[in-house]
Chain A
Amino acid sequence: MAQHTRKGAQFQALTANRLSDGIVVYLTADDRWSESLQEAEVAEGKEAAEALLARAEPSVADNTVVEPYLFEVAKEADGIRAASVRETIRQAGPTVRLDLGKQAELPGVHS
């Protein structure tokens, strides 16, 4: 599986795509898959991150999601922010066609 995080990253969250429609989702503290990054559980440090990744397994086994992986985030005053351009785009939709979908619903993420 592709690596989308950084060695030594302090904060990481867990993402996947939902099986039925491919939509990007994040694992929450109470083991739900949310479409909002703001609801994601953020793990601090390597061990917590590994434990978070392990919690994806049941959802892969019961075919809720596919391709789960960890990625780096930052915790900021206005919420959780993805560290890379790639994960920002996954979170907030393409940076084009700003009239549609998540791009339209989450103004301010793609400045």
Chain B
Amino acid sequence: MYRYDEFDHQLVNERVAQFSGQVARRLSGELTEDEFKPLRLMNGVYLQLHAYMLRIAVPYGTLSSKQMRMLAHIGRKYDRGYGHFTTRQNLQFNWPALKDVPDILKDLASVEMHCIQTSGNCIRNVTSDQYAGAAKSEIEDPRIVSEIIRQWSTFHPEFSFLPRKFKIAVTGTPDDRAAIRVHDIGIQIVQDDKQNIGYEIYVGGGLGRTPMIGKKIADFVPKEDLLAYLEAIMRVYNMYGRRDNIYKARIKILVHEIGVEEMKRQVEAEFAEVRKAGTLHLPEEEVARIEAYFQAPAYESLPDESTELNKAVLADRDFANWVKSNVAQHRVPGYAIVNISLKPIGGTPGDCSSDQMDAVADIAEKYSFDELRVTHEQNLTLAHVRKKDLHAVYEALKKHDLATANINLITDQIACPGLDYCALANARSIPLAQEISRRFADIERQHEIGELKINTSGCINACGHHHVGHIGILGVDKKGVEYYQVTLGGAADEKTAIGDIVGRAFTEDEIVDAIETIVTTYIGKRNEGERFIDTYRRIGVEPFKESLYETH
């Protein structure tokens, strides 16, 4: 795992000292709110409906057990005993007091954590595949590139005041779990026929008010040129990005307006300039140094089959369901990837109590090389578990209500904080997700329905990724009453699509029945073994419209 070097230590400590001073001056009145607000936003502190909110960076979603325990401690000491994992693989605390924030930052810094690049108009914390280093079809661990980008972008003077925030995601496998096509820049690691590693680059994806799918502008950027190429994109964006209108300031609008060919031409021209200057050429030693941080753990050599596992699957039906939905193949024989669902039936998607954080830290220490991942679908992952330990891991998770067997199923929903916490919200998201979860609680039925992703946002900012949910739900406000608009057919994987609006919005009382109707319609129309999204792609929106609205 990546360890801070001295340079990082110094920067983070300086930043903590600086921000602590700013908080003190705000509390004493030397700084006004107008002066302070941009400073707090550079340090991950938002003001929400009820309290401040602190967003903590989890770079590319990787955490050590020690770091997780510190988060648990902070949740207990300064918050209300729980935190919320977000779709950008970060953690949010909903209740910290401003006066405590300097102490929280000190505690975080003691385990090499901070809130830098979690808010403001900078290059945000880079996100990546939660299966990094473990996925079967992986070409290269995407965290290497993510870390290179982190080092290049943190505190890069030109990138601290971009027209808007800027998000980058990286994946190292052809099946995309990092939603790279809905990021400002998406990086797909590829290999040419001579086994050289390079990068396919997507640009201009994003959600929010104007959802766009990223367009490919490069098929193969060689490894040593990656930063030069990214710098070229940033220069074009910085030159043309609209600062006069915040809704138009995203790179997706620029790419949309000038077209992908023109974008490509401009980036190529800048790229030639940057490359000539040579300063961003990535030296091999530097790459090797960073690669060393992500070296594979010391796997045992094991047979791929585990008799212990096979026996347990036969003996315990609940465990068998959990293995089916929550366990994924590992590239090393005898190992598996375990997904820990943070979506218990009726719970808040992504919430995790301090006690649960401590429990998963212990489990990771004992069974998965002391390391954890946060997923953009608001779950956790243990990347390297011996198959023969799976049953023990399951039992340990179950004690803490962390063994729900629903990964990628209908109750594994993404939901933003919505009107229960968020000052920008039009409608509540969490109670809706909870109602849906209760309606479809039966695990056998969930497995019968199969893969189905429901994403909910409480307003058009789309923090809950509703545009790319197989079923998307968007909260809207009609004269002070909450309504919910439904989209169908969205996807955030390698076949990214923006969902189609199905028709008029539903009330809070109607929405769960509407979801049920959609599911029933799908079940009636699906071919054998066909996933919801594939059925939708085959039959389109009409049959769903009919069943949803004809009886109303």
Q: From A83, which residue of chain B is reached at the shortest CB distance?
A: B480
B47 lies within 8 A of A22 (CB) = yes
Q: Which of B59-67, B110-118, B305-313, B427-435 contacts A (4 or more CB under 8 A)?
A: B427-435
Q: From B28, which residue of chain A is reached at the shortest CB distance?
A: A63
* Minimum C-beta distance from A53 to chain B (A): 16
CB neighbours of B49 from chain A (8 A): 24, 86, 89-90
Report the bound CA distance from A62 to B28 in whole Å: 9
B29 lies within 8 A of A94 (CB) = no
Q: How large is the interface on B (under 10, 10 to 19, 20 to 34, 35 or more residues)?
A: 20 to 34
In-complex Cβ contact of B51 among A23, A63, A100 (8 A): A23
Report the bound CA distance from A83 to B479 in whole Å: 11
Known interface pairs A83-B480, A95-B428. Does A24 touch B50 (Cβ–Cβ under 8 Å)? yes
Known interface pairs A21-B98, A89-B419. Does A66 touch B47 (Cβ–Cβ under 8 Å)? yes
* Docked complex: B34-53 residues within 8 A CB-CB of A: 47-52
CB neighbours of A36 from chain B (8 A): none
Interface string of A82-111 (1 = CB under 8 A from B): 011110011001111100111000000000
Report the bound CA distance from A89 to B418 in whole Å: 11
Interface string of B326-339 (1 = CB under 8 A from A): 00000000000000
Indicate if A31 sits at the interface (CB-CB under 8 A).
no
A96 lies within 8 A of B434 (CB) = yes
Indicate if A67 sits at the interface (CB-CB under 8 A).
yes
Indicate if B99 sits at the interface (CB-CB under 8 A).
yes
B29 lies within 8 A of A97 (CB) = no
Indicate if B271 sits at the interface (CB-CB under 8 A).
no
B420 lies within 8 A of A94 (CB) = yes
Q: From A63, which residue of chain B is reached at the shortest CB distance?
A: B29
* Minimum C-beta distance from A90 to chain B (A): 5
A67 lies within 8 A of B47 (CB) = yes
* Minimum C-beta distance from A68 to chain B (A): 11
Report the bound CA distance from A22 to B82 in whole Å: 18
* Minimum C-beta distance from A99 to chain B (A): 10
A19 lies within 8 A of B98 (CB) = yes
- A residues apposed to B, CB below 8 Å: 2, 17, 19-24, 60, 62-63, 66-67, 83-86, 89-90, 93-97, 100-102
- B residues apposed to A, CB below 8 Å: 26-29, 33, 47-52, 80-82, 95, 97-99, 348, 419-421, 423, 425, 427-428, 430-431, 434, 480-482
Can you sample 27 A-B contacts with CB below 8 Å? A17-B47, A20-B27, A20-B97, A21-B97, A21-B99, A22-B47, A22-B50, A22-B52, A22-B97, A24-B50, A66-B47, A67-B33, A83-B480, A85-B481, A85-B482, A89-B428, A90-B50, A94-B50, A94-B420, A95-B420, A95-B428, A95-B430, A96-B348, A97-B80, A97-B348, A100-B81, A102-B50
A-B interface, 9 closest residue pairs, ranked by CB to CB distance from nearest: A21-B97, A94-B420, A22-B51, A22-B52, A63-B29, A84-B480, A96-B430, A66-B33, A20-B99
